[in-house]
Amino acid sequence: MTKIINEQLEVIDLFSGCGGLALGFQNEGMNIKSGMELDGSAANTASYNLHWKHGVDNEHLCGDVTLANGNDFANYNKPIVIGGPPCQAYSMAGRAKLNSLGEERHVFKDSRGALFQDFLRIALELNARAVVMENVPESVNYNGINIPETVCEILTENGYNAIWTVLNSADFGVPQIRERVFVIAIKKEMGNIEHLPEPTHKRPDHNFRTMNEGRFASFSQTKYFTFPLPAKESLPKWITVKDAISDLPILFPVSTSVYKLHNQELTLPYQSPPQSDYQELMRSGVRIDGVSGNGFRNTKRDFKIFEQMAANDNYRDAHDIAMKMLAKECIKKKIKAKTHPNQYEVLKKSIVPPYSINKFLTKWKKLDPHKPSHTLVAHLGTDTYSHIHPWEPRGISVREAARLQSFPDDFYFNCSMTEAFKQIGNAVPPLLSKAVATALRKNLGEN
């Protein structure tokens, strides 16, 4: 999928994660020179896939961007600086987690909320010809501060043309509804921002609106916000979950199947030839009839619940299913809650998940095969209840998560299953990134 590298467009990738943002730029033919990521496992994944497997003696450094400076990335010709400063301080899930940990971990005391400043500091030290920063939509209101608007102001004061916008991954061929803020900036003497990322797919329902699309009117009151381009009517419809994963190996067909923990490097054969253009694209770099990353979690108690869940069912539905299963087992074993309280509690614990239907409602969801996935998040590293497989009674596998993020099948996660899920959930979808890189190239006057 990678084009011939144009040596003039060198890229430095900060807060890189496993390299999703950089991969899109690489696939647009740009030269990923280096990067930096605090998580050693993610830095290793990025280094392998972006450099080493191509025989390139570069690497993504494992380091703290707050302690770095331009000298760590010296000898580059006005590089493009890209990155996604950690979003935990901005995201709704991250804010809730931090606030629950006490006053000293309150969201507005989280140092990660200011990491964009270090990102900009290094970009300016490198005299970057262009800057691309990605983050969550919640960053538009961090303690009353609009982070992307602030970033654009700083860049403008330092000689850049800058805008920010909100892009939905599904519009760019990713089988996932995932909205993210992008800041795009170019040195004034090097180009104007006349081109925005062009959608490759259209929504099947013209009346469907995401939460953030409903906020575009208020965003437009800011100086630097730019509306994303609408999808052309002639485009194909959004990629669905079925379009994305139906050719991947069958791993656990029924709830009574024997669980196997597949090693991350183990290659299993595809269950069929490509069934869609998307599958063809994901398999284009694979030279054998098989794919790695087939690990999934052994949630033994819940396999039977998953099996009875319907598409789009959430935890309340799962809890109802479990309670009905418990009732049947009580009748079968002649156990009653009032007369056999201890036995009843033991049986209940073995069947019914112990979570509140009020607090845990959205943490479980079964994928709809006929729609794009909902947003993948880093919490996949803890469990995969948020993305239950649409026709097998289990959580999604590492490779299935990667497919939903548009990582190609030759992108290897040479790490633990937990680390791989976290890296994928944190990543920028490469197909979305490529659309941003294509627009940036046009704005820089490159063909």
Q: Which residues contact 166 (CB under 8 A, 6 or more apart)?
A: 137, 179, 180, 181, 182, 212, 213, 216, 219, 228
Catalytic amino acids?
87
Report residue 446 as tokens.
Answer: 């490159």
Alpha-carbon distance 54 to 156, whole Å?
A: 37
